Structure 1
Amino acid sequence: MGARASKHARPRMGGTERTGVTVPKKILPRITSVQAGERPLTLRIRWDKGDENLVDVSGMVETFRVFEPLRRSRELFDQVRVGDHGADVVWSDEIDMSADTLWRLAQEQAGVTLSPDAFKRWRERKAYTLEMAAAALGVSRRMVAYYEQGKKPIPRVVALATRALELA
Structure 2
Amino acid sequence: MNQPQFLIRRVAVTGATRLKLDFADGQALDVDLAGTIARHPVLAPLADPSVFTRVALDEWRRGVIFADDDRLALASDNLRALGVEQAGGFSHQQLLVWMAHHGLTLDAAAEALDVSRRMLAYYRSGARPIPRTVGLAMLGWEVVHGRAADPAFEYGEAA
**TM-score interval w.r.t. the shorter chain?**
0.5 to 0.7
The answer on 1:74 being equivalent to 2:74 is no
- 2:30 counterpart letter in structure 1: L
How many Å separate the matches in 1 of 2:57 and 2:7?
10
SS in 1 for 2:31: strand
Query: Please, what is the CA RMSD of the aligned residues?
Result: 3.6
Q: TM-score, normalised by structure 1?
A: 0.57
Displacement, 1:165?
5.4
How many Å separate the matches in 2 of 1:165 and 1:66?
35
- 1:156 counterpart letter in structure 2: I
Aligned to 1:93: 70
Q: Which stretches in structure 1 are left out of the alignment for 5+ residues? A: 1-24, 121-128, 140-150
Give the count of matched residue pairs: 123
How many Å separate the matches in 2 of 1:48 and 1:101?
15
* Structure of greater relative contact order (alpha carbons < 8 Å, 6+ residues apart): 2
How many Å separate the matches in 1 of 2:36 and 2:130?
23
Aligned to 2:130: 156
User: CA separation of 1:81/1:41 partners in 2, compared to 1, >3 Å: closer, same or farther?
Assistant: same
How many Å separate the matches in 2 of 1:83 and 1:76?
16
Which structure has the larger Rg?
Answer: 1
Q: TM-score, normalised by structure 2?
A: 0.60
Aligned to 2:19: 43
Q: Which stretches in structure 2 are left out of the alignment for 5+ residues? A: 116-123, 145-159
Over the matched positions of the two proteins, sequence identity in percent amounts to: 26
How many Å separate the matches in 2 of 1:112 and 1:160?
10
Aligned to 2:59: 84
- 1:89 counterpart letter in structure 2: V
Displacement, 1:130?
5.2
Deviations for 1:34-53, whole angstroms, at most 9, x for unmatched residues? 11112x21101111122211
Which of structure 1's runs of 4+ aligned residues deviate more than 6 A?
none
Deviations for 1:82-138, whole angstroms, at most 9, x for unmatched residues? 11121110012221000010011111112221674xx86xxxxxxxx656x846236
User: CA separation of 1:110/1:26 partners in 2, compared to 1, >3 Å: closer, same or farther?
Assistant: same
How many Å separate the matches in 2 of 1:75 and 1:64?
19
Aligned to 2:31, which of 55, 72, 76? 55
